[in-house]
Amino acid sequence: MFNKLIDKSAAKSPWLYHINTGSCNGCDIELVACLTPRYDAERFGFKLAGSPRHADIVVVSGPITSQSKDRLVRTLAQVPEPKCVVSIGSCPQSGNVFKGSWSVEAPLENYVHVDVAVAGCTPKPEAIMEGLYKAALILQKKREAMHK
Amino acid sequence: MFDWMNILWGLFYILVFPGALFTCCVGLFLAGIDRKVIAHMQKRIGPPIVQPTYDFFKLMGKETIVPARANKLVFLGAPILGFVSLALIMLFVPIFGFTAFSGDADLIVILYLITISGVALIAGGSASGSPYAGIGISREMVTMMSYELPFVLVLLAVAKKVGGASLVFSMDAVAAWQAENTCMAFQWSMIPAAIAFLLIIPAEVGMQPFDVAEAETEICEGPLIEYSGAALGVFKLNTAMKMCIMTGLFTSLFFGGIRTGYIWLDAIVFVAISAVVTLICITTVHAVTARLKIEHLFKFFWTIVSGLAGVSLVLVWLGL
């Protein structure tokens, strides 16, 4: 009876959990800028959650250093289904300027399925918002697939 | 012989009108208004008013993970215990002329039921086995101790005011007294108690200056850190229901004299006054304050707020 409402709600209230895997803080600042009054991501229901257990969308920034790889994989495993993974910036996609470094294990795709990748160094808040919104729609599709 | 009609009405009271469904709907509505208005205060557009409802239904559709270290029975039972105790409170709070169940000691029952919901949060947090939850529950206990004292003093002041020579702990008597005389809020000796109660509401609900137990940015929502899915959804619903109950309790304790005679009109006026109280004591306070430390919270409640409530109690005892 409530399945339709739950599916609709899945897209309307995506809670974010942010993992910094050795990012230079540029993307992190731009993500936080999305939540400020100027861009106000809360009007789509986005909210920063403190615990991965509360999250729907996991936002990953940074080139995945060797130190943070293990933590990243463990944190992602703690997020309840349905979940989405969004990578922000060029670093998680390719390693960006850090590519080839002995301490960077860059493409995020090696460890988890990435639903939306926002490229740029750093991407604009508008681009991040668009990526997050697309991830919210993917969440709804995943939720629909769960009970079919 | 069973009176089937009475049992059916009882079930209707518990499940629909002043009980579970009504409390949930009004609570989620008040929480939505709170988020919308605070967004406007910060020059944002803000989420739609139905946002807490979306949040709740989304959490219902998520996977519920029980950590390996957790005690499963307590971990999953605690949110339900909290829900049941909160759903029952509204039965004792008169919506102006109408009370579902009335007795001689409603105020004491309400006090205990509200405490049970706090204890449920503590039990759930301690069952999850997370160190963050450990910090959260210790703070939650201190918060509960801080606001219980002024809360009891306010209720004593009201009981003395209504009873005259003796204490009267019946909500029905409080409502009837206010219908005969004026609203409690317009009695000047009760004004300090009303202010104290307004300060207790955000602590009870766990809102901004007094949200030390669930400090999101500091200890990741404390007792709730390991909760996910439906169990978290029920806890979020409990918070919204507490908002409805505490503002509703304020409305019926201090503005209980307004009676139109129609139950639906009474209910609308009741929700409207509750919404205004929410805006004053939760939203505005949230917008202009930062989180206190736990020892400051304790000190604040045991000195200033208890002092205000005590002043009222003394004034009432002197017969003013």
* pLDDT tens string B252-286: 888 876 777 777 777 788 888 888 888 888 888 88
Summarize the confidence of residues A87-113 as an average pLDDT.
86
Token pair, residue B308, equals 């205000």
Which residue of A18, A48, A51 is the best one to mutate when testing the B interface, meaning the one whose CB has the most B CBs within 10 A? A51
Report CB contact under 8 Å: A80, B61: no
Nearest to B47 among A43, A51, A82 (CB): A43
Report CB contact under 8 Å: A50, B216: yes
Sign of CA dihedral B298, B38, A17, B239: positive
Tell whether A147 is covered by a domain. Answer: no
Q: Nearest C-alpha of chain A: how many angstroms from B211?
A: 14
Minimal-distance CA residue of chain B relative to A11: B58
Beta strands of A83-137 (E only): which ranges? 84-88, 116-118
Q: Nearest C-alpha of chain A: how many angstroms from B212?
A: 14
Mean pLDDT check: name the lowest of B55-64, B164-173, B233-242, B268-277.
Answer: B164-173
Domain ranges within chain B, ordered by starting residue: 4-317
Report CB contact under 8 Å: B62, A82: yes
Report CB contact under 8 Å: A54, B221: yes
For residue A68, give the CATH number of its domain.
Answer: 3.40.50.12280
How far is B106 from B109, CA to CA, in rounded Å? 5
How far is B224 from B216, CA to CA, in rounded Å? 10
Tell whether A10 is covered by a domain. Answer: no
pLDDT given for residue A86 in this prediction? 92
pLDDT at A98 over 80: yes
The CA-based diameter of chain B, rounded to the nearest angstrom, is: 62
Mean pLDDT check: name the lowest of A65-74, B166-175, B202-211.
Answer: B166-175
Nearest to A53 among B44, B54, B226 (CB): B226
Report CB contact under 8 Å: B226, A40: no
Cross-strand partners of A17: A58
Chain B residues in contact with A80 by the CB 8 A cut-off are 62-65, 228-229
List pLDDT tens digits, range A12-60: 888 999 998 888 888 888 888 888 888 888 888 888 888 888 888 999 9
Report CB contact under 8 Å: A53, B45: no
Tell whether A108 is covered by a domain. Answer: yes
Q: Nearest C-alpha of chain B: how many angstroms from A57?
A: 12
pLDDT given for residue A58 in this prediction? 92
Summarize the confidence of residues B295-305 as an average pLDDT.
89
Backbone φ, ψ for residue A59 (5° rounding) = -100, 120
Q: Residue B1: which pLDDT band, with cuts at 50, 70 and 90?
A: low
Q: Nearest C-alpha of chain A: how many angstroms from B146?
A: 26
Which residue of B50, B62, B291 is the best one to mutate when testing the A interface, meaning the one whose CB has the most A CBs within 10 A? B62
Report CB contact under 8 Å: B58, A54: no
Report CB contact under 8 Å: B228, A146: no
pLDDT given for residue A85 in this prediction? 92
Summarize the confidence of residues B64-81 as an average pLDDT.
86
Mean pLDDT of chain B: 84
Report CB contact under 8 Å: A40, B55: no
Tell whether A47 is covered by a domain. Answer: yes
Q: What does DSSP say about strands A47-48 and A57-61: parallel, antiparallel, or unpaired? A: unpaired
Summarize the confidence of residues B35-45 as an average pLDDT.
89
Mean pLDDT check: name the lowest of A42-46, A65-69, B169-173.
Answer: B169-173
pLDDT given for residue B2 in this prediction? 66
pLDDT given for residue B71 in this prediction? 82
Q: Nearest C-alpha of chain A: how many angstroms from B252?
A: 33
Tell whether A39 is covered by a domain. Answer: yes
How many other CB atoms are there within 10 angstroms of residue B304's CB atom?
Answer: 14
How far is B66 from B75, CA to CA, in rounded Å? 8
Nearest to B65 among A5, A80, A143 (CB): A80
How far is B180 from B110, CA to CA, in rounded Å? 24
The angle subtended at Cα B70 by Cα B65 and Cα B76, nearest 5°, is: 60
pLDDT at B171 over 80: no
- The percent of residues in chain B predicted with pLDDT above 90, rounded, is 2
pLDDT at B211 over 80: yes
Beta strands of A69-139 (E only): which ranges? 84-88, 116-118
- Could you give the number of structural domains in chain A? 1
Summarize the confidence of residues B175-199 as an average pLDDT.
80
Report CB contact under 8 Å: B232, A81: no
Summarize the confidence of residues A80-88 as an average pLDDT.
89
Q: Nearest C-alpha of chain B: how many angstroms from A54?
A: 6
pLDDT given for residue B97 in this prediction? 67
Minimal-distance CA residue of chain A relative to B52: A13
Q: Which domain holds residue A107?
A: 17-142
